[in-house]
Structure 1
Amino acid sequence: MRDDALAPAAVPPLTGGLADSVFETADRSPTLPVLARRTDAAPGVWEEVTAVELRDDVVDLAKGLIASGISPGHRVALMARTRYEWTVFAHALWTVGAEVVPIHPASSRDQVEWILRDAGCVAVVVDDEQGIMTVGTVCAGLPRLKHVWQLDADASARLAEQGAVIPLTTVESLRRIVLPDSTAAIAYTSGTSGRPLGCALSHRGLAYPCDVLLAGWGHTAAPPGEQPSVLAFLPFSHVYGLMIQVLCLRGGVLMAHEPEMTAEALASALRTFRPTYLYGVPSVFEKLYKTFLRTAQQAGRGALFERAAQTARDFAEAEERRRLGTGPGPGFDLRLQHALYERTVYRRLRGALGGRAVRGTSGGSSLSRELSLFYEGIGLYIHDGYGLTETCGGITMQPLGREKSGTVGRALPGTEVQVADDGEILVRGPSVFQGYVADEARTRAALYGGWLATGDIGQLDSEGYLTITGRKKDVIITSSGKSVAPAPLEQRLRMHPLVHQAVVVGDDRPCVGALITLDPEFLAHWRAGLALQGESPGREAREENALREEIARAVASANSAVSRAESIRVYRILPEPFAPDNGLLTPSMKLRRDAIARHYAAEIDAMYEARSRAVRRPGTEETADWDESDNVFR
């Protein structure tokens, strides 16, 4: 059991609800820019919203909600992209004591129906006509649902007009009766297996980790003397995005909204908004790395980039040993090389991210140590964070000056983390959720004596640093009884530029296998760089052989980190990626392993059958050792 004091544990106690921060900031610093959004006239220009402007928008909308019959305790779903109106609606709902139910706008009809019914929502906010159509197909079976508001049809302005007759004193009266332990949000788990569960999160629970992080680490989010700024692009429907929103508004961090999740929109937003702090999921930071590599190769500087990247990792690793007291730090030659690449490479890479970012956080799943070291080496420390929907977001952080890549840091002040005998991570603290909506049995199973059983497996080292090794339910047990955690293998596979996604399989099979999808952009670049000569049929065969060799190298690299019994022996390259649209990824970009296994059941069977025939000894039904990996393309 650990309770590591990484920062001052004494943060100002919460006395009301999350909406109070909007009003308090407006009173204290009315002209402080708190939000930013793209303008319609010029996509590269950002319109800033001051604290007093945000407060006035929240008040006007809160009046409209009251006039529409929204009362304390009512639940309203926000099924919209990451946009300014999402933030205003959330804080207006919290102002009147209502509860926010975030839903990803790309959720299927069945998912939307389940969440609206399970949460008992009385209203839902959608982006556009598509959202109207989705809700329209299910609302007949939802007698509690009274309102559907469409943002693109000026729902905010219409509600504000409707609420003009409501006095300000009514709004203030409702805001002041919101208690810290009132429920602020019903956030649904990602639903990687089975139906998602609604987690009741209190105002206190959502505020606590944000306040602790601001108290201990807020000064590191920007260069000295500058206002910290964050580009919000991950969905607010996920607790990670929700936590970032709360943290920014409670800490005076300028937050920009980028509703488009495309690579082009993100790249443009980073260049023009120029955030001082980055956050994302591992796939975002992996994609950025591959984009750096592809751009360098297209300019004929691929070898230079790879040398610079290795120097960055070596430099960061030496710096880590120095700060942890296990080494002297970078030697003269390494410092000289690093200084050279700083002038020729690293500065340009940071420029592609806006040029002002100093640190960042990766969450949602594990970030590889190699990638963390790369970013630290180029002057942008990206640390891996840990948290769950049930913990209102982050519960660990890297101690300043003692950061250790490859771990998720140590428990936040006031939070306790321990690892059970079977490797499961247990958490206790102020941010642990209130329970699952209408599911006391699951709540009792998750909470025991105040401890939350996270379902994750990991390790605590002697200094209290936590390392996540996977999900308890995801552990694969082969037919020989070998237990394998798939996450580390998948993580290493994705480090190869051609690999987009990977899911490891092998339950009740003779060996571990993998399903792999390719990165379409890097694949096109790779094909263009082959420059294979000859007639088309021959060229295609040589190209396929070259691709097999590249993926075989990726598999060999992944296998180098595990024992022979845990290594990948069979794999398939799939023709299409896993995506939320095909039901194989959650909206927060996590693998739906059960759905993937069902969807590709025939391919998985064929993969193992082909390998079984290949290793079966002539004249007998016995099989040889599954020693060599088998590169099988679908």
Structure 2
Amino acid sequence: MRDFALAPPTTTAPLTGGLADSVFDTALREPNTPQLARRPDPAKQVWTQVTAAELRDEVVDLAKGFIASGISPGHRVAIMARTRYEWTVLCYALWSVGAEVVPIYPTSSRDQVAWILADSQCSAVVVEDEQGLMTVGSVCTSLPLLRNVWQLDDGAMPQLVELGRTVPTTTVDSMRRIVLPDSAAVIAYTSGTTGHPRGCALSHRSLASPCDTLLAGWRHTAAPPGVQPTVLAFLPFSHVYGLMIQGLCLRGGLLMGHEPDLSGEALSSALLSFRPTYLYAVPSVFEKIYKNFLRAAQKAGRGALFERAVGTARDFATAVERQRLGTGSGPGFDLRLQHALYERTVYRKLRAALGGRVCGAVSGGSPLNRELALFYSGIGILVHDGYGLTETSGGVTAQPVGREKFGTVGQPLPGTEIRVAGDGEIMVHGTSVFQGYVNDDAGTREALRGGWLATGDIGRLDTEGYLTITGRKKDIIITSSGKSVAPAALEQRLRMHPLVHQAVIVGDNRPCVGALITLDPDFLAHWRASLALQEDTPHRQAREENALREEIGRAVAAANSTVSRSESIRVFRVLAEPFALSNGLLTPSMKLRRDAIVRHYAFEIDAMYQARTRSSRPNAAAEELAHWDDSDNVFR
């Protein structure tokens, strides 16, 4: 077993109360500091700043309404809404009265909502719109403890404020001051990729710990000197990563705006109008931004120029990385000259598309592809890849400033210890580790072993303590020949191709590894339009399909180049529809439901493998395996 830990931070003061205290402390210390930004009219993209004092007053007024409604310390209140301004005010108002927040994805199904509300024994729930109200209403009869349902789009907040007019402000102060650091602040439910979601009890201390550590060591990277860092929050606050971003902003004096619409058009518009200095996202967002850059360049007839610029960016970032890690001398004269040329003609235009002020970023949720990290670093946006999970309140590792090593998720945060067990499982110990699963003592005992959290993730630590994530234990595929394959790296590499939207590796008890692939609809339309085929020829469709087979075949070949032959993809199938929430193949946090996908596409998977074995003789295993030399490209 290997372990690694950095020294505890020396500049982080111990938490003495609850998370809501930061709102009140900032308002007392710097009342005019802009804390949040909101858009009265989202269509106009005009942002209005909310000062620390104004935010505190809103939180107090809303907290009074909760008190008047019977919400008291220990009560659990669910918030079922997108990432919007009201979410933050609601959250801190509930923490001000000692209540526990239960985040629920607004896209959750009726059964998921019923399970979470019942399992957490919620006293109340705040929904965003009529759809949410109908979902909660359809399960209310099975929830005897649920007393209040408030709808944001039907005036819930003004109604609560009016209800609390007669409650003294001192009552809020008294309730806030009795909140202890180890009191539960959030009951965050896991994605539920297998079985029911489980509620993780996260304390005020565990949520504050990674935020304060990151602020102490990394805040200066979020904006140029003398400039207040600004962050556009668009990841769901229903996920612990989103909650960590909210905590970082409010505890660290970063100006935070909200964008509830995750569509490409809405997000692009918000980035251009809000102009953040720092970007928090997940790998799929960074992948999508890159593909949008590529598609725009190709549409403008500059695809070849863009690809040369991408190559130079990666080469430049690789040389810089070697220099900072002490394994190289840095970019040579010719490379610096090329990079400077593309900086004037390409890179600054790419940064302008993100608002023009982004100077750095963080990627979380899953590991970021090394080539993608090199690209962003090469165009002037250094992405710090990190690692965390719901049970650790978010942050576990981060890239050390000035010692970033792409392809890893960095080193353990100061005060956090990591071990890699003999079977490769990552174990974590530290302040941010959760208190346990709600109503699941057996699950808690299984996860917490002598104070160490068994994460279920597998990885490795290098000699300098950098952690590389290789996958999830439960996702490991074992072929009929006994070969163990971690699917994450192959799936990540497949998604780097512009046409590939999603990828799932299969192969349990099969002769080889296979892949189910869905296509990016935007890039597919662009790709079809760019094909040099005559419009009305009778064989156009067949020629187009053949070209698509070849293109996806190249994506598979590129992925296979990163693994051994026994781990490579030999068969694949392109599916007609994506894995989505609507068909039950994604979790609300957009994770793949692998077991459900395998069941759903059992016929297609069987057909994919049978297509390559029809010519083999029965019971001739050696001859059968000889047929798996080339990737199959069967399309559905």
TM-score, length-scaled by structure 1: 0.98
Match of 2:539? 538
The equivalent residue for 1:469 is 470
Cα distance in structure 2, aligned partners of 1:131 and 1:573: 34
User: Structure 1 residue 9: deviation in Å?
Assistant: 3.9
Q: Percent identity?
A: 75
Q: Give distance in 1, aligned partners of 2:535 and 2:226.
A: 61
The equivalent of 1:356 in structure 2 is: 357
Q: Which residue is equivalent to 2:114? A: 113
User: How big is each residue's C-alpha offset from its partner over 1:234-286, in whole Å with a ceiling of 9 and x where there is no partner?
Assistant: 11000000110011100010010001111000000011100001011111000
CA distance in 2, matches of 1:38, 1:581: 30
Structure 1 counterpart of 2:46:
45
Q: Compute the displacement of 1:41 (Å).
A: 7.1
Q: Is the 8 A contact 1:617 1:624 kept in 2?
A: no
**CA spacing shift, 1:534–1:158, aligned 2, 3 Å:** closer
For residues 43 and 505 of structure 2, the distance between their equivalents in structure 1, rounded to whole angstroms, comes to: 45
Partner residue of 1:629? 631
Question: Is the contact made by 1:192 and 1:590 (CA closer than 8 Å) also made in structure 2?
Answer: yes
Per the alignment, residue 505 of structure 1 pairs with 506
> For the residues of structure 2 that align with 1:43 and 1:364, how far apart are their CA atoms?
31
CA distance in 2, matches of 1:537, 1:417: 61
Cα contact 2:427–2:453 (8 A) shared by 1? yes
Deviations 1:562-611 (A, max 9, x none): 11110001111011111222221122221111111111111111111112
Q: Secondary structure at the match of 1:165?
A: coil
SS of the aligned residue for 1:631 comes to: strand
1:95-244 to structure 2, matched below 5 A, reads 95-244=96-245
Partner amino acid, structure 2, of 1:264: E
The question of 1:454 aligning with 2:455 is answered: yes
Residue 576 of structure 1 corresponds to which residue in structure 2? 577
* 8 A contact 1:64–1:160 mirrored in 2: yes
CA shift for structure 1 position 157:
0.4
Report the CA distance between 1:383 and its aligned residue: 2.1
**Change in CA separation of 1:505 and 1:41 when aligned onto 2, cut-off 3 Å:** closer
Deviates more, 1:605-614 or 1:178-187: 605-614
Query: 2:501–2:519: 8 Å Cα contact kept in structure 1?
Result: yes
Partners in 2 of 1:77 and 1:522 — Cα distance?
38
Are 2:78 and 2:122, in contact at CA under 8 Å, matched by a contact in 1? yes
State the 1:531 CA deviation: 2.6
Partner of 1:314: helix, strand, or coil? helix
Matching residue of 2:274: 273
Q: Deviations over 1:72-94 (max 9, x none)?
A: 00000000010111101100000
Quick one: which amino acid aligns to residue 130 of structure 1?
Q
Is the 8 Å Cα contact of residues 197 and 437 (structure 1) preserved in structure 2? yes
CA change 1:136–1:627 in 2 (3 A) is: same
In 2, the alpha carbon distance for the partners of 1:627 and 1:211 equals 53
Q: Secondary structure at the match of 1:164?
A: coil
Q: Could you tell me how far apart the structure 1 residues matched to 2:50 and 2:155 are?
A: 18
Over 3 Å counting, the alpha-carbon distance change for 1:587 and 1:227 in structure 2 is: same
CA distance in 2, matches of 1:306, 1:139: 55
Deviations 1:276-331 (A, max 9, x none): 01011111000000000000000000000000001000000000000000000101
Secondary structure in 2 matching 1:553: helix
1 CA distance for matches of 2:393 and 2:44?
33
Q: Deviations over 1:50-109 (max 9, x none)?
A: 111110110000000000000100000000010111101100000000000000000000
SS in 1 for 2:541: helix
Query: 1:542 is matched by which residue type in structure 2?
Result: R
Does the 8 A contact of 1:9 with 1:413 survive in 2? no
Query: What secondary structure does 1:458 align onto?
Result: strand
CA distance in 2, matches of 1:219, 1:90: 27
For the Cα contact (< 8 Å) 1:209–1:431, is it kept in 2?
yes
- Aligned equivalents of 2:587, 2:311: Cα separation in 1: 33
Residue in structure 1 matched with residue 492 of structure 2 by the alignment: 491
Aligned with 2:284: secondary structure? helix
Checking the alignment, whether the CA contact within 8 Å between 2:211 and 2:248 is kept in structure 1 is yes
Between the aligned partners of 2:584 and 2:357, the Cα distance in structure 1 is: 37
Q: Deviations over 1:219-244 (max 9, x none)?
A: 11001111001100111000000110
Whether the aligned pair in 1 keeps the contact of 2:306 and 2:346 (CA below 8 Å) is yes
Per-residue deviation at 1:618? 9.7
Is contact 1:364–1:588 with CA below 8 Å preserved after alignment?
Answer: no
Name stretches of at least 5 consecutive residues in structure 1 with no aligned partner: none
* Aligned partner letter, 1:631: N
Cα pair 2:221 2:360 within 8 Å, conserved: yes
What is the aligned partner in structure 1 of residue 70 from structure 2?
69
Does the 8 Å contact 1:199/1:389 carry over to 2?
yes
SS of the residue 2:350 aligns to: helix
Q: Distance in 2 between matches of 1:416 and 1:249?
A: 26
Matches within 5 A, 1:586-597: 586-597=587-598
How many angstroms apart in 2 are the aligned matches of 1:590 and 1:306? 30
The answer on whether the counterparts of 1:75 and 1:123 sit within 8 Å (CA) in structure 2 is: yes
2:304 matched to 1:303? yes
Which letter does structure 1 place at the counterpart of 2:311? Q
Contact (CA 8 Å) 1:9, 1:414: kept in 2 or not?
no
Shift of 1:212: 0.5
Report matched runs for 1:544-555 at 5 Å.
544-555=545-556
Cα deviation digits, residues 476-502 of structure 1 (max 9, x gap): 000100000000000000000000000
Tell me the residue number matched to 1:247: 248
- The answer on whether the counterparts of 2:511 and 2:625 sit within 8 Å (CA) in structure 1 is no
Q: Which runs of 5+ in 2 are unaligned?
A: none
What is the letter of the counterpart of residue 336 of structure 1?
A: L
Which letter maps to 2:112? Q
TM-score, normalization: structure 2?
Answer: 0.98
Aligned positions, number: 632
Does structure 1 retain, via aligned residues, the 8 Å contact 2:103–2:237? Answer: yes
Indicate if the aligned counterparts of 2:9 and 2:415 stay in contact, CA closer than 8 A: no
| 4+ aligned runs moved over 3 Å, structure 1 | 7-10, 534-537, 617-622
The one-letter code matched in structure 2 to 1:633 is F
* TM superposition shift of 1:396: 0.6
Q: In the aligned structure 2, how far is the partner of 1:167 from the partner of 1:8?
A: 39
Task: Give the partner amino acid of 1:435.
Answer: G
Helix, strand or coil at the partner of 2:611: helix
Which has the larger displacement, 519-528 or 30-39?
Answer: 30-39
Provide closer, same or farther for how the CA distance between residues 408 and 619 of structure 1 changes in structure 2, counting only shifts above 3 A: closer
Residue pairs, 1:294-373, within 5 angstroms: 294-373=295-374
1:2 matched to which residue of 2? 4
Partners of 1:480 and 1:610 lie apart in 2 by 19
Alpha-carbon shift at residue 612 of structure 1 (Å): 1.6
The residue matched to 1:211 in structure 2 has which SS? Answer: helix
Superposed CA offset, 1:532-573 (max 9, x none): 016343111110000000000000000001111100011110
Q: 2:394 — aligned with what?
A: 393
Distance 1:595 1:605 in 2: 15
Q: Which AA in structure 2 matches 1:244? A: I
Distance 2:180 2:358 in 1: 36
Give the distance between the partners of 2:172 and 2:193, measured in 1 at CA.
Answer: 39
SS at match of 2:15: coil
Task: Indicate the SS of the match to 1:92.
Answer: helix
Q: Cα–Cα, structure 1 residues 205 and 624, in superposed 2: closer, same or farther, change >3 Å?
A: closer
Specify the alignment match of 1:423 in structure 2.
424
1:39 positional shift: 2.4
Question: What's the RMSD between the two structures over aligned residues?
Answer: 1.2
**Distance in 1 between residues matched to 2:588 and 2:228, nearest whole Å:** 31
